[in-house]
């Protein structure tokens, strides 16, 4: 994928699982939500794997270890080894190890995933700002992380200890809805100290580098549900992406996406990996996909036709993104989206 301005979703004559050698799949909101598999995920991934596609699971959630994530996926019916899981904890541990001596103490604010990743890099996790850490690392610690851990991080950071964060996702999907993510916790320490952390996770380069190093992917496809992490990460890594609408991103957010948040492909769920993608073509003053045509009017996006709702969404994206250019579309798309039920 080029770093230029995308003005429409792309088409593919091949199934995506055949056109790309490796799927770099986000987990929360893509494969599962609240611990339970999302509809069609298990069967779709099995079919892609049987066809020869390498599946790798790339998550900004630093709480769980790769072993734990692999066990969970296997229990859901998706056979997975720990080597197939790449976490932001691994990415941030590598980032820290490149800046401090081997064996250094690192204050951990988060879960076991961070501790395991630090030990893998020859670093020693510690629990207190008084343990003479040379770095502080903060990652998602789950809903039961004590408030005092943020104070511990703040004490060390205020003393000038370098601060690292696995990721800064403000929210995380759960089985009950959208919950605060690690980015919300990072804001607590930022407010208390005025400092800025070095961040490793999606959409930043350290996470993409970690993923490529561990998978050896030559033609990867990033598959995610978030525009500001998964899709922007693919943009920064100059690789193609598939947005699935099973997580946090809805149609209105997609239409208003700036260039770095515009996916190569859009589909309802992971079944989109197993098919070609319909082409969006210019049609007069607008764009056409399947039975739908869309154009940008003076104040709103105009949609006509019928058929698959996703074809209409793709046509609307083309109209919105072309109208916006390298900015953000401000035309009202609510009425058009309502016709699609999205």
Kind and range of the H or E element at 319? helix 309-324
> What length is written for the chain?
342
CB-based burial, 140-162: b 16+ in 10 Å, e otherwise: bbeeebeeebbebbbbbbeeebb
Q: How far apart are CA 80 and CA 73, in angstroms?
A: 6
Cβ atoms 216, 83 nearer than 8 A: no
> By C-alpha distance, which of 19, 9, 46, 48 is closest to 218?
19
What lies within 8 Å, CB to CB, of 52 at 6+ separation is: none
**What are the residue numbers of the active site?**
26, 28
Q: How far apart are CA 82 and CA 277, in angstroms?
A: 31
């Amino acid at each position: 994928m080029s770093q230029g301005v995308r003005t429409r979703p792309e088409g593919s004559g091949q199934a995506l699982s055949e056109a790309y050698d490796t799927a770099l799949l986000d987990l929360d909101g893509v494969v599962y939500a609240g611990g339970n598999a999302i509809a069609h995920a298990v069967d779709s991934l099995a079919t892609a794997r049987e066809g020869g596609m390498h599946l790798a699971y790339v998550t900004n959630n630093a709480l769980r270890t790769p072993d734990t994530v692999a066990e969970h996926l296997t229990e859901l019916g998706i056979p997975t080894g720990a080597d197939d899981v790449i976490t932001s904890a691994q990415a941030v541990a590598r980032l820290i190890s490149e800046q401090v001596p081997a064996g250094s103490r690192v204050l951990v604010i988060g879960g076991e995933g961070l501790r395991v990743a630090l030990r893998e890099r020859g670093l020693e996790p510690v629990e207190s700002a008084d343990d003479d850490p040379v770095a502080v690392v903060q990652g998602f610690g789950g809903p039961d992380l004590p408030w005092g851990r943020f104070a511990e991080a703040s004490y060390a950071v205020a003393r000038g200890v370098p601060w690292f964060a696995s990721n800064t996702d403000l929210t995380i999907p759960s089985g009950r809805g959208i919950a605060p993510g690690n980015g919300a916790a990072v804001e607590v320490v930022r407010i208390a100290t005025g400092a800025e952390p070095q961040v490793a996770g999606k959409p930043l380069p350290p996470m993409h580098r970690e993923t490529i190093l561990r998978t050896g992917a030559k033609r990867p496809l990033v598959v995610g549900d978030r525009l500001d992490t998964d899709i922007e990460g693919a943009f920064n890594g100059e690789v193609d992406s598939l947005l699935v609408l099973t997580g946090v991103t809805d149609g209105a957010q997609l239409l208003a996406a700036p260039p770095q948040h515009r996916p190569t492909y859009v589909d309802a769920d992971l079944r989109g990996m197993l098919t070609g993608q319909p082409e969006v073509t210019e049609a007069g003053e607008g764009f056409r996909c399947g039975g739908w045509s869309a154009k940008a009017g003076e104040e709103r996006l105009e949609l006509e036709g019928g058929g698959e709702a996703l074809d209409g969404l793709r046509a609307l994206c083309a109209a919105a993104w072309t109208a916006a250019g390298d900015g953000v579309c401000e035309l009202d798309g609510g009425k058009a989206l309502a016709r699609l039920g999205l």
